Structure 1
Amino acid sequence: MPSNKSTKILGILFRIAIPCVILAAGWFGFVKLAEQIKKPPEPQGKKFQLRSRVEPLEVVDYPVVVKTHAVVQPHNLVTLNAQVSGQVAKVSPSFEVGAYFSEGDVLVEIDPRDYETALSIAKSQLVAAESELKLAKVVEDRKLRLVESNAVSQGEVDAASATREQAEANVALAKTQVEQAELALERTKVIAPFDGRVKSNMIGIGQLAGSNSPLGEIFAVDYVEVRLPISGEQREFLNLPEFSDDPPIDVELRDSISQSDVVWRGKIVRTEGVLDEDSRDLFAIARVDDPFGRKSSGPPLRISQPVIASIEGTVLRDVIALPRPAVRQLNNIVLVDQSELTLLPMKIEALWSDAEKVVVPASAIPKGMLLATTPMPFTPKGTKIEVIPPAEEVSAAIADNSAPDTETKTTN
């Protein structure tokens, strides 16, 4: 009996001991995990020194040059039409595509034989009408003499007068028919209305041309026009001619395809009275004399050639012209204090900008500043920077450093 009782007591103690051991192990683990983990010391970051190239800021008077793109157009483009019908008998060599011609040249000739015959018939009818008029006048004069002696009646005199008037009308009609036949014969020759060049030819020898049928297109070569779009911002810096007596503005044109150094000089002579419906641009008309260099022996400025126009505008006084690459996000620049070499980022408001420069008032930039031109990832105000010397100075420094070594080697 005693042994059974001891076994029961041991069993009870064992069942109580297991949870206690589990609780003790949990508490021990909690204590260990709750202890603060000692972190290794963080490595100290390397000091980063901002470096930038700088440029001096100069107050200047900046001449605005407005640039715009356009296409050369003929000032007088004409479609030649046949005024009479007939078979084409001759086509002048000057009426080939690209050929030059002078005012008064015969470009196309229609077979004139039918019109020569019509003219001969009209002239014969005129001769007959003049003969009838001569006879009617003789009869009328005789009737007028006889009526005084009562040899004829007044009715016969009136009839003779009416016959004479009818004969006069027939003569006038015959003369008109002769003039019409002469004009039709003259129109068998298509005459050049001005000095020009052929754009297209739509007719050939032997082809039948109808009245008002197109023969080809020609354009004048005394001067060409360039229709230049000018935006609202650009118009503020230009004094464009508005009236016929306003002075013209000089303009330079360059080929926008080949980017060559060839320059054509012209003048803006007028502006259009209506803004473009889509862009609201104003079109200024520039005129270039002798575009094909026939008198000046210059390079040809061809029709439909795309060009870049440069127009001199007003001069901005007391401004600073900043290089465009130094202007960040359109209106932000970074200045460098010349004495302390610290950064000063600031925003600007441009008076004028183009592909190369951004022009600001000189009063907007503090004195004693340089312009940072090197892109930097961040530019906190007051940060010290190191100025990168110009390439010439770096080259000179390298040459100076290498010179002693060279002399030493030579001496040895």
Structure 2
Amino acid sequence: MSSFFVKVILPVIVVVVAIAGAVGLSKMRQPPEKNDESRPAILVNAVAIKPDNIVYQIKSQGMVTPKLETSLVSEVNGRVVEVAEQFVAGGFFTKGDVLVRVEQSDYLTNVKAAQAALANAQAMLAEEKARVRVAEEEWRSFTDGTAPALGLRQPQLASALASVQSAEAELERAKRDLARTEIRAPYDGMVRSRAANIGQFISRGSVLGSIVGTEVAEIRLPLTDIDMAFLAMPGAMDTEANTVTLSSTVAGQQLTWPAKLVRTEGILDERSRVIYVVAEVTDPYQRQKQAQNQPVLNFGRFVGATITGTQAEQIVRVERHLLLPGNQVLVVDKDNTLQFRQVEVDRATNEFAYIQAGLEPTDQLALSAISNPLAGTVVRVAGAGSDEPQSTDGTQLAEAAAAKADKVKEQ
């Protein structure tokens, strides 16, 4: 009996009790509490749109070169007997200075010979004039008719006059050659290179050196067709619209020089597809001291240039990375939702985009980096009635949120 109870009845009782317990527990179970899931609005940085009048600044760069550059070439033959002290590379000179002098002995002799030949020709002319007067008196003593030209020695007189003119020309040539033995500076400038030395024999056509003018420096600035559209060229603008500011780092110091746009070369470069404009700087080496505390601008220096262009009205300037493909920008509208605005771009550079139309007065420009933004997404603007830090960097926003969460845990 006991064996039957243990093997049969007891297992059945255990199963029944387990089933009854499970049913009872299932009836006592409370349903899970339902909470409406709410996602917090995205925190973004935004700035109000403020149209303003803008004067475009056009960037370029170029090399400083002299406006005048001359190769000194000998026009006579001879031995160099004198070279000016300032006729060395980098030496400064003024207009009219004698840079090189050639031996003058032979040319002085030529001048004296030409003077003697002229005096002889003049004496022959005077003698021939006297003969003409005698011939006229003799003709009148015999007849009252018109004397023939040959009888009055007119051909001989013309020949004597031609001899005088030829002698005068030879004297002028001799004096000119004598003057050419002194190679003088044609303008104020600086010596770039020298090729003549004392004792050297030079011939007509020999290069004595190279000089450059220091009165005006030129800078050729390449511009694209787009840049030219915002540039008012000389002759069709006011006096301030063509100003140029040159800049360069010299000995670790940033220096600037004022310049003026004077012309365009008018030819589009076939390879680079740019057109060159020319700016000028007066007295780059400050020899005339026209500007106080103005640094020297050396020839050959590479400089950056900022050209003052045309003025545009009611333009919104935004950073270039905020301009999306298709000329769209992401804004926060008056309902604090993200919207894409199709805008009209007046000008775009590597740094900024200048928007002319397409934005609403109530729009705020979204500055934060948002992955996969969707139009109509509700956002929170940092700094608008909240204590969230303003930032244009999504990383900084994430770090601020993490710091706030750690503070809550500590409390």
Tell me by how many angstroms 1:71 deviates: 1.8
Equivalent in the alignment of 2:113: 121
Alignment of 1:40-55 (within 5 A): 51-55=43-47
Equivalent in the alignment of 2:219: 226
Alignment of 1:96-111 (within 5 A): 96-111=88-103
Equivalent in the alignment of 1:68: 60
Measure, in 2, the Cα distance between the counterparts of 1:352 and 1:157: 87
Equivalent in the alignment of 2:83: 91
Cα deviation, 1:56-105, whole Å, max 9, x if unaligned, reads: 33222222111112222222211111111111111112221111111111
Candidates 175, 179, 182, aligned match of 2:175: 182
Q: Aligned pair 1:323/2:319, yes or no?
A: yes
Greater mean deviation of Cα atoms: 350-359 or 102-111: 350-359
Equivalent in the alignment of 1:9: none
Counterpart code for 2:224 = S
SS of alignment partner, residue 233 of structure 1: helix
Measure, in 2, the Cα distance between the counterparts of 1:191 and 1:167: 38
Cα deviation, 1:271-315, whole Å, max 9, x if unaligned, reads: 233322234433222222111122225212222322221122222
Alignment RMSD (CA, Å):
3.5
SS of alignment partner, residue 119 of structure 1: helix
Decide whether aligned partners of structure 1 residues 259 and 362 sit closer, same or farther in structure 2, where only a CA change above 3 A counts.
farther
Measure, in 2, the Cα distance between the counterparts of 1:86 and 1:51: 87
Alignment of 1:281-296 (within 5 A): 281-294=274-287, 295=289, 296=291
Decide whether aligned partners of structure 1 residues 146 and 310 sit closer, same or farther in structure 2, where only a CA change above 3 A counts.
same
Counterpart code for 2:244 = V
Equivalent in the alignment of 1:405: none
Tell me by how many angstroms 1:119 deviates: 0.8
Candidates 302, 306, 311, aligned match of 2:298: 302
Measure, in 2, the Cα distance between the counterparts of 1:149 and 1:62: 99
Equivalent in the alignment of 2:127: 135
Decide whether aligned partners of structure 1 residues 149 and 230 sit closer, same or farther in structure 2, where only a CA change above 3 A counts.
same
Higher helix share: 1
Measure, in 1, the Cα distance between the counterparts of 2:115 and 2:315: 82
Contact 1:195 1:221 in 2 (8 A): yes
Measure, in 1, the Cα distance between the counterparts of 2:252 and 2:303: 9
Decide whether aligned partners of structure 1 residues 146 and 58 sit closer, same or farther in structure 2, where only a CA change above 3 A counts.
closer
Measure, in 1, the Cα distance between the counterparts of 2:326 and 2:82: 65
Equivalent in the alignment of 1:4: none
Measure, in 1, the Cα distance between the counterparts of 2:128 and 2:325: 99
SS of alignment partner, residue 218 of structure 2: strand
Q: Aligned pair 1:211/2:209, yes or no?
A: no
Measure, in 2, the Cα distance between the counterparts of 1:309 and 1:259: 18
Equivalent in the alignment of 1:28: none
Contact 1:269 1:287 in 2 (8 A): yes
Decide whether aligned partners of structure 1 residues 260 and 379 sit closer, same or farther in structure 2, where only a CA change above 3 A counts.
farther
Counterpart code for 2:119 = V
Candidates 368, 374, 379, aligned match of 2:373: 379
Equivalent in the alignment of 2:3: none
Equivalent in the alignment of 2:32: none
Alignment of 1:231-246 (within 5 A): 231-241=224-234
* TM-score, with structure 2 as normaliser: 0.72
Greater mean deviation of Cα atoms: 354-363 or 73-82: 354-363
Contact 1:242 1:270 in 2 (8 A): no
Contact 2:192 2:209 in 1 (8 A): yes
Decide whether aligned partners of structure 1 residues 259 and 345 sit closer, same or farther in structure 2, where only a CA change above 3 A counts.
farther
Tell me by how many angstroms 1:147 deviates: 4.7
SS of alignment partner, residue 272 of structure 1: strand
Equivalent in the alignment of 1:364: 359
Tell me by how many angstroms 1:211 deviates: 0.8
Counterpart code for 2:218 = E
Decide whether aligned partners of structure 1 residues 384 and 171 sit closer, same or farther in structure 2, where only a CA change above 3 A counts.
closer
Measure, in 1, the Cα distance between the counterparts of 2:67 and 2:181: 27
Tell me by how many angstroms 1:164 deviates: 3.9
* TM-score, with structure 1 as normaliser: 0.72
Tell me by how many angstroms 1:109 deviates: 0.9
Unaligned runs of 5+ residues in structure 2 are 1-38, 383-387, 405-411
Equivalent in the alignment of 1:408: none
Measure, in 2, the Cα distance between the counterparts of 1:133 and 1:345: 100
